[in-house]
Amino acid sequence: MATHTQVATDALVRQAIPSLALLASQIADPQVRNRATIGGSLAYNDPAGDYPAACVGLGATVITDRRRIPAEEFFTGAFSTALAESEVIVSLAFPKPPELLRAAYVRLPDRAARSALVGVTVAETQSAFRVAISGLASGPTRWPDAEAALAKRPHPDALRDIAGPPAGTDPYRAHVARTLTIRAVRSLTT
C-alpha cells in the first residue's frame, strides 16, 4: 500500500486526481507521510482523517484480499469499517477521467492534532456532483442538498441558501463545512 508521500508525488495521481495528491501532501508531518499509508489510514478510520471524505466524495472502491467495497459502505462509524476480522486492504480504485471531470479537497486544519477539524471533497463527474465532509459525524458524510444545488447550477452561489450539511450537531463545524464547500466549488470554477 502506498505511503502518503507516494500518493502525493505519484505522477499518475497528480495528473488524474490532483486533489488527492494535494490532500496527501498536507497530512501530518514528513515523518508520518513517509511511513503511514493510505490503506492504514482508511482501515483506522479516524473521524478527523482526510482520506475517508475524499474516498467517499471521489466514489472510490476499497479492494481487500476478499472483496470490493464502495467507500460509502466501507466507513461504518468512528474508528470502525466494514473490514472483517483478518481482512486486509490491498488497493483502492478511483474513477478516472473522463468519468471524473474534476475534484477539490479543502480542509480546516486542527493544528494541535495535525489533522483536519473539517475536510470537504467536491467532485464533479459526468453524471453528478458529489460532496463529502469529514469532521461532522463519526464518519464521512454526504451533503445531498449541496449535490442537488450544484447539479442545477455549478457555482458557489448555489450553496448559499440551501439547508446546512447533515449530521452537523456543532453549529461551528456546520458553518465551517459550508464555507469550505463553497471554497472547493470556487476552486473548481475558476
CATH number at 33 reads: 3.30.465.10
The whole-number average pLDDT for the span 133-153 is 94
Identify the residue whose cell numbers are 478511483.
94
pLDDT score of 163: 85
Over residues 55-109, the pLDDT tens digits come to 999 999 999 999 999 999 999 999 999 999 999 999 999 998 888 899 999 999 8
Note down the domain range covering 86: 4-189
Global model pTM greater than 0.85: yes
Q: Show the CA angle centred on residue 98, arms to residues 81 and 153, nearest 5°.
A: 85
| pLDDT tens, residue by residue, 24-66 | 999 989 999 999 999 999 999 998 899 999 999 999 999 999 9
Q: Which residues fall within 8 angstroms of residue 120, CB to CB, at 6 or more apart?
A: 53, 57, 105, 106, 107, 131, 132, 133, 134, 177, 180, 181, 183, 184
pLDDT at 189: 85
Query: For the chain, what is the domain count?
Result: 1
